[in-house]
Structure 1
Amino acid sequence: MARKALILVEGVADIGLLYVKAAQRLGLRPITLSADPAQYDYLAAESVDAIRVDTNNLDALICECSRLRATNDIAGITSAKESVYARVGNLCRHFNLPGPNPTSIERCCDKPAQRQLLAEAGVPIPAFRVAANAIDVESSALEIGLPAILKPAAGSGSMGVRLCRNLDEVTEHTNYLLGGKHIWRSPPKILVEEFAQGPYCWADIMGDQIIGIGTSDFGPAPHFVSRESTIPAPLIDDEHRRIANVSLSCLRALGLGWGPTGIELRWTKRGPVVIEVNPRLHGTPTPQLVQLAYGVDLITEHIKLAIGDECDLRRSHSHTAAARFLVADRDGTLDWISGDSQAAAVSDVAEVKFYVGPKTPIVRKGDFRDHIGHVMAVSPSFFQTQFILQQAVDLINWSITPFSIAGEQEQPADSRIPAPA
């Protein structure tokens, strides 16, 4: 009898390997379909089956899955990548397999359409406008009021997202987005959005069940580079209840409720305001933190849903888990980075990981690509976890030599990860 296979449409750099390993633990043979399998280092490192196919072409995907089905028992088809998740839904329907509603996914991935549906359902969201040219962007920003957020109407990872505090910054970022420097997957449309001010929270949902609510801190404006994430968020009961209610309202408004959903919010003067709804799991460090805090493996449970098995979302314990990202404070060449083994030896540190090695060029983008590593810790209490995390990151150091100007070699600068403000 052929071994059951799990088809993974595309991969992701941060949690793609976790999907592969979870599939293998479930006795499945993971097969990745990708337009460029070489972009995912873990596929070759783990000898994972990978097939090159145009993942933007539904017919090509159906053809490849049909070919694979001749020699494999395909138990399920899924993905951790938002940009292909609607096609995953179409594939599942074609082959009569469990999966997300493709229409709901498409509407959710279109940020203006998502916001319109949320607004019509009475879900609190920031004021927004959609603009396709510089004149419309400027008039929209003035209408909404400055400071305002400018972001691509489609995308993830805070790529192209910026806080603009005056018209000069609006013009500068509009020129960046429309001037060829930003890569668009669809016709350029800019979302101009009210800056909802307040603590940032996120909710992770599987099906229609809220697994946990966490919080994150970011680096300095105008960018939104995540510095630290913690679950559970230190909320009082009423705050938790209101965030949970708003999150579930998002599912109803967008027709979601199958598989994973990640919701991002700000706690403002008027309570929770929804910034974004993602029809997928949040990336690193969220799935790992949820497992550390509650013993719930969201990736495994997502795969179980995709193959028609019953998932188990019961908590086995309740701790506080947190992750601190390591973020370079300058551009240049990374000379060295050290302290990972010492940090990992600190009691209750769960993981220390560097994403880059010596001689790597560091060019900051103002989004998730600025991360050069992370440290995760877990303990029974919020303050104890924070103390452990700080102990660990204090042991990590690196040196970056700024890029030379006009042939002049600048002196290297030692860096140490600071505690978030």
Structure 2
Amino acid sequence: MTRRVLILLEGNTLGTGLQYAQAARRLGLHPITLSADPTQYDYLAADGIETIRIDTTNLDALIGECSRLREIYRIAGITSAREPVYATAGKLCRHFGLPGPNPASIERCCDKFTQRQLLAEAGVPIPAYRLALDATEVERSAAEIGLPVILKPGVGNGSYGVRLCRDVDELAEHTAYLLGGKHIWRSSPRILVEEFARGTYYCAEIMGDEVIGITAGNFGPLPHFLFRELAFPASLSDDDNRRIADVSLSCLRALGLGWGPTAIEFRWTKRGPVVIEVNPRLAGGIGPRMVQLAYGIDLITEHIKLVIGDEWDLRRRHSHATASRIFHPDRDGTLDWIDGASRAAAVLGVAEVKFYVKPKAQIVMKGDYRDRIGHVIAVSPNLAQSEAVVRHAIDLIDWSIKPFPSLGEQEQSAAPHFPEPAQVSQGKR
């Protein structure tokens, strides 16, 4: 019998890439990852996942490779855990007659300016926004909207290149960063200047046109937007849940989505839920794991079922509550040690403790999702209990980061001396 395979375009460094491959195996599929640089995903080699190096921006090359694979295997489905290539996965599905998302809808959604235009036309509540192509337009747009504003690339995800600018100096600094050659653009340089919508953060977790549940979250220190704590399901009244669900479905209609996963981010402002971002994919990081722990719904497995044409099952197996804490460093340097993870994992109610870095790793903060170094997730019958478990667990965890030596310190290191111990930062960031 010909082996059934699931083609995965690229992987994911925050866990979901491996989870897609593992879920495929549980469904009796052989996962094959196509990647421009497989070495960036450590789990591919560690988990023995078949990998093919190929330019994943070249649709013709991908069609040729998939055609070659189809002579050996039965391709059951093609998908991706990465937003930048998800539209390409949809195009491959169309070419080979496989179930998949509408690539045109994905591309429109991934263009943040186009997304906002379509949402505004549909009457969906969104922050004020402008598109800027140069520093002069950024400055003028910020003046029209009023400081503080958020600057973000016109295409991107994971808070990459996103920053709150609270005054003209921060505005000029981040504009220079984005346009000065340091930021790596996925498209032509275009900056979205956006009103800073103040309020509690929520994210609607959606499969097809069904809102599975709503996550609440808060962030670490500004000006960056790094998730610090998440809770699922959010503590909302039935009426507020319905308001977010109704706006979410309006987003799907406006953008032509509704096939497969979508994650819609909100801020609950003085005028109610305001849409910050519509992501035509599963929420990244630990979001799918929290849903699975709370409701028993494995969104990754159910997405793959849809991809291969099987019937999915979005019924809740139980109704628990999950809380999490995501760890970030507070400085650049060398990670000396991590302590207490095993003790935290043994706490009743802790479902998962993971660190993505190991001692002696070099830490260089970037102000986006890549700064995450670990997390704790707890699950219990109610949210207050889960949050208490998380607080207890993180009290048991600590780590030390030794700052990189200054240029002067490096020059002095060749001479014999007995320096004072370097200051370190420790734990629970």
TM-score range with shorter-chain normalisation?
over 0.9
Is residue 288 of structure 1 aligned with residue 299 of structure 2?
A: no
The Cα of 1:214 is off from its aligned counterpart by 0.8
1:66 match: 67
2:274 match: 273
The Cα of 1:191 is off from its aligned counterpart by 0.3
Deviations 1:12-34 (A, max 9, x none): 11210000000000000001111
Distance in 2 (CA, whole Å) between partners of 1:168 and 1:37 is: 40
1:415 match: 426
Deviations 1:92-140 (A, max 9, x none): 0110000000110000000000000000000000010000100000000
Matches within 5 A, 1:83-232: 83-232=84-233
Distance in 1 (CA, whole Å) between partners of 2:358 and 2:42 is: 15
- TM-score, normalised to structure 2, is 0.96
Distance in 1 (CA, whole Å) between partners of 2:398 and 2:9 is: 37
Structure 1 stretches of 4+ with a deviation exceeding 4 A read none
Deviations 1:52-101 (A, max 9, x none): 11110111111000000001011001111111111111110110000000
> How many residues are paired up?
418
SS at structure 2 position matched to 1:157:
coil
Matches within 5 A, 1:30-41: 30-41=31-42
The Cα of 1:296 is off from its aligned counterpart by 0.2
Gaps of 5+ in 1: none
Distance in 1 (CA, whole Å) between partners of 2:63 and 2:407 is: 54
The Cα of 1:239 is off from its aligned counterpart by 1.1
SS at structure 1 position matched to 2:337:
strand
Distance in 1 (CA, whole Å) between partners of 2:13 and 2:406 is: 33
Question: Contact between 1:56 and 1:84, CA under 8 Å: does it hold in 2?
Answer: yes
Question: Contact between 2:324 and 2:387, CA under 8 Å: does it hold in 1?
Answer: no
Deviations 1:376-395 (A, max 9, x none): 10001111001000111111
SS at structure 1 position matched to 2:19:
helix
Distance in 1 (CA, whole Å) between partners of 2:254 and 2:32 is: 34
Identity of aligned residues (%): 68
Distance in 2 (CA, whole Å) between partners of 1:44 and 1:189 is: 37
Distance in 2 (CA, whole Å) between partners of 1:330 and 1:414 is: 7
**One-letter code aligned to 1:61:** L
Question: Contact between 2:330 and 2:425, CA under 8 Å: does it hold in 1?
Answer: no
- TM-score, normalised to structure 1, is 0.98
Question: Contact between 1:375 and 1:393, CA under 8 Å: does it hold in 2?
Answer: yes
SS at structure 1 position matched to 2:223:
coil
The Cα of 1:3 is off from its aligned counterpart by 1.3
Distance in 2 (CA, whole Å) between partners of 1:399 and 1:255 is: 48
Question: Contact between 1:399 and 1:412, CA under 8 Å: does it hold in 2?
Answer: no
Question: Contact between 1:205 and 1:260, CA under 8 Å: does it hold in 2?
Answer: yes
Question: Contact between 1:229 and 1:285, CA under 8 Å: does it hold in 2?
Answer: no
Distance in 1 (CA, whole Å) between partners of 2:402 and 2:41 is: 28
Deviations 1:154-187 (A, max 9, x none): 1111011111111111101000101111111111
The Cα of 1:412 is off from its aligned counterpart by 3.6
The Cα of 1:331 is off from its aligned counterpart by 1.4
2:5 match: 5
Deviations 1:329-358 (A, max 9, x none): 121111111111000000010110011111
**One-letter code aligned to 1:53:** I
The Cα of 1:213 is off from its aligned counterpart by 0.3
2:414 match: none
After superposition, the CA RMSD in angstroms is 0.9
The Cα of 1:416 is off from its aligned counterpart by 2.7
Question: Contact between 2:132 and 2:191, CA under 8 Å: does it hold in 1?
Answer: yes
The Cα of 1:414 is off from its aligned counterpart by 4.5
SS at structure 2 position matched to 1:352:
strand
1:360 match: 361
Is residue 323 of structure 1 aligned with residue 324 of structure 2?
A: yes
**One-letter code aligned to 1:289:** M
Distance in 2 (CA, whole Å) between partners of 1:155 and 1:323 is: 25
Question: Contact between 2:331 and 2:425, CA under 8 Å: does it hold in 1?
Answer: no
SS at structure 2 position matched to 1:318:
coil
The Cα of 1:406 is off from its aligned counterpart by 3.1
Distance in 2 (CA, whole Å) between partners of 1:330 and 1:39 is: 23
Distance in 2 (CA, whole Å) between partners of 1:66 and 1:154 is: 30
Gaps of 5+ in 2: 410-418
Question: Contact between 1:397 and 1:414, CA under 8 Å: does it hold in 2?
Answer: no
Distance in 1 (CA, whole Å) between partners of 2:78 and 2:331 is: 41
The Cα of 1:272 is off from its aligned counterpart by 0.3
